[in-house]
Structure formats: C-alpha cells, structure tokens
Amino acid sequence: MKLRALAERLQCRLEGDGDLDIVRMSAIDHAGPGDLTFVANPRYIAQLRSTGASAVIVAATLRRPPHLRADCALLRAADPYTAFAQAVRLFAQEAAPRKGIDRLTAVAKDASIGADVAIGPFVAIDSGASIGARTIVYPNVVIGRGARIGDDCVLHSQVAIREGVVIGHRVTIQNGAVVGSDGFGFATQPDGSHLKIPQQADVVIEDDVEIGANTTIDRPAVGETRIRAGTKIDNLVQIGHGVSVGRRVLLASQVGIAGSAVIDDDVVMGGQVGVGGHLRVGRRAVAAGKTVITKSVAPGTFLTGYPGIPNREWRKASVIFRRLPELKKRVEELERLVTQLATKRPRRRAASRRR
C-alpha cells in the first residue's frame, strides 16, 4: 500500500515520500525496506537511529529525531498506539479455517449449529448446545451440554466450555481456557472433611470479551459468574465462582480473583494481582502488578503493594523500607545520645530521680 493511502486510512499527517510502498508492520529493531514501524513509548525513540524501516508512526508533537535516517518518512498521529493498532489490522491476514464441520467431530444431533461456522477435527459438542453464525471452533475444543455460543466467536484449540455456559457475540477465547469449571466450594465438617457443594449455576460471558490461554473461569453453586461486555482477560487468570467483572475491564496475566468479588467497570489490573473474596473493586480503580487487594477499593484508586495501598504512599514507604537498617541505626544513635544527654547533666538526673 502506498504510504500516502496509509496515512489517509490511519488519519495521520505524512512527512516524507507518499509514493513509498509499505508491505507490512514491523518492530523497530526488525524493520527493513517496505516496513512501517511505530514509537509510542518514548524509551524506544533512541532505537530509531538504527531502524531500517521505510516509515515510522510517531506522536503528532514529537520533534523529528535527529538521528533518524533522512529518507525515513513519518506518519504523525494524535494517538500513535491506536494508529499502530489500526495499521496492524490493515495488514493482518485472515487465516480462518475452512468453513464447515470436520468429519472427525462429535456433534450431538440436537445441537444447533449456525451458518458459515468452521468447526475443526476432534471437537465435541454435546446435546442441546448451540453455536452462532460464523463462529470458528478450532480442533479439540469441547462444548458441554446446553452451552450457548454466540455469533462471530473464535474458540481456539483445546478450549473447554462447560455445560450450560452462555457466551455472547464476538468473543475470542485463546487455547486451553476453561469456562465453567466447578467453583472451589466446600463446607468443612466437624470431622475436618470437606463436603462438596455442587457448582451448577450460571456463567455468562458477554459480547466482545477476550479470554486468554489457559485461563479458568469458575461457576458458582447459586447466582452467577459474569464477565461483562468488552472486558479483556489475559492468560492464566483465575476468576472464582460468583465473581462479577464489569465492562471494559483489563486483567493482565496470572491475576486471581477470589469467589464473589465484584470488579466494577473500567478497572485495570497488572499481572499477578490477587483480589480477596467478597470484595468490591470500584470503577476505574487500577492495581499495579502483584498487588494484594485485601479490602474493598474506592473508585479511581491506584493501588500497589502487599497489602495494596495507594501507589504514592507505597512508593514512598518502599523507599524507606529498603533503608530500614539505616533508620534503625539512627534510632539507636538517638537513644545513645539521649541517654548521654540525660545522664551527663546532674540537674537532669536529679529531675529523673524525683519521679
């Protein structure tokens, strides 16, 4: 595609030769002639010195890096990351599997299969399940009894959708994810044994959700587990039984959310964050990676640490944590000095004696 056309499609301002042919998107350090790359994160500007790219997407306000090759064109974007995203989408190649149902599948007679689906080999679809139009089901996926999958979904290989789970439209589920496994619900008995509470209630995944590889989403005994529209969940995340996740939430890899927690809209969690059971995390709250959320969180709070406290406080306290040995020495020195002050003066000692 000509760079000029690309600039128009991406709503970027072009600086350089609009007749350049761009053939793909590329990373700064992998780019060669014909490649378009981008810099959204300032830490990578220095890498422009050595890039072989024909053009770079940069921020509208960025001064042209002096070390950039003179013949490297710029596409200036209000939001370079979004322009990059859109450029990747332009060059992305659809590699959908062949339409139809592979002959090596086990599809129940009463399952309902939408138009133009692509269902790969070794897929098992149990009785009463339904698959929406144009949905792609890769090999070795298992869909349980009565589960309902919407239109235009993509289920990558080895995904498990348990019985009765409801999944909306345009949901993408990466390989090996499990939706609807039994929640961890046991009632401990006087003899110490743990009585299983059957977990048979609902799991609902709303439209436009993405679920990462090997992530697990549990079903509860009563009520429901629900992931609301537009939420994106990374790999190896645990969503406990009865959890409610709001709209447009972002959960990075290895986050764990314990049972019955409520995550409000637009929350963002870094990797490996843990959320205790029955807590509520308010709208737009953010938790840095590894934060341990032990109490409900007010909307908009930015938490960090174990236990999670406001990020500003955590950063200040962490700096001092590291210097605790020094602080302790200063206290010891003070104790020495104060003892000296108190004992070196007769009057002071007399005063002490009087008490």
Catalytic residues: 241
Only segment of 2-10, 14-22, 62-70, 342-350 that touches its own copies (CB under 8 A): 342-350
Residue among 14 and 208 whose Cβ is closer to its own copies: 208
Sequence-distant (≥ 6) Cβ neighbours of residue 76 within 8 angstroms: 12, 13, 14, 15, 57, 58, 59, 60, 62
In this structure, what token pair is assigned to residue 287?
């938790």
Sequence-distant (≥ 6) Cβ neighbours of residue 333 within 8 angstroms: none
Tell how strand 202-205 and strand 224-227 pair up: parallel
In this structure, what token pair is assigned to residue 185?
């619900």
Q: In the stretch 55-94, what mask flags binding to its own copies with x, by CB under 8 A?
A: ------------------------x-xx-xxx-xx--xx-
- Candidate residues 113, 235, 299, 311; the one interacting with its own copies per rule CB under 8 A: 235
Alpha carbon distance 265, 247 (integer Å): 5
Only segment of 1-9, 57-65, 109-117, 185-193 that touches its own copies (CB under 8 A): 185-193
Site for its own copies contains 353 (CB under 8 A): no
- Candidate residues 2, 13, 49, 330; the one interacting with its own copies per rule CB under 8 A: 330
- Interaction residues for its own copies, span 210-229 (CB under 8 A): 210, 212-214, 216, 218, 220-224
What one-letter code names the amino acid at 67? Answer: H
State the minimum distance, in angstroms, from the CB of residue 220 to its own copies: 7
In this structure, what token pair is assigned to residue 34?
């014909």
Alpha carbon distance 267, 302 (integer Å): 10
- Candidate residues 129, 266, 282, 285; the one interacting with its own copies per rule CB under 8 A: 266
Residue among 206 and 218 whose Cβ is closer to its own copies: 218
Q: DSSP string of 60-110?
A: TTPPPPTTS-TT-EEEEESSHHHHHHHHHHHHPPP-PPPSEE-SS-EE-TT
Q: Residue 177: is it exposed, middle or buried by C-beta count within 10 angstroms (0-12/13-18/19+)? A: buried
In this structure, what token pair is assigned to residue 181?
């496994």
- Candidate residues 101, 248, 302, 311; the one interacting with its own copies per rule CB under 8 A: 248
- Candidate residues 63, 66, 193, 353; the one interacting with its own copies per rule CB under 8 A: 193
- Interaction residues for its own copies, span 100-159 (CB under 8 A): 102, 104, 106, 120-122, 124, 126, 138-140, 142, 144-145, 156-158
Residue among 46 and 338 whose Cβ is closer to its own copies: 338
- Candidate residues 194, 295, 298, 300; the one interacting with its own copies per rule CB under 8 A: 194
Alpha carbon distance 146, 126 (integer Å): 7
Site for its own copies contains 306 (CB under 8 A): yes
Site for its own copies contains 320 (CB under 8 A): yes
- Interaction residues for its own copies, span 21-40 (CB under 8 A): 25-27, 29-30, 37
Residue 282 Cα distances to 55, 81, 122, 238, 260, angstroms: 42, 27, 42, 19, 14
Alpha carbon distance 283, 349 (integer Å): 60
Residue among 67 and 89 whose Cβ is closer to its own copies: 89
Only segment of 6-14, 56-64, 110-118, 196-204 that touches its own copies (CB under 8 A): 196-204
Size of the site for its own copies (CB under 8 A): 129
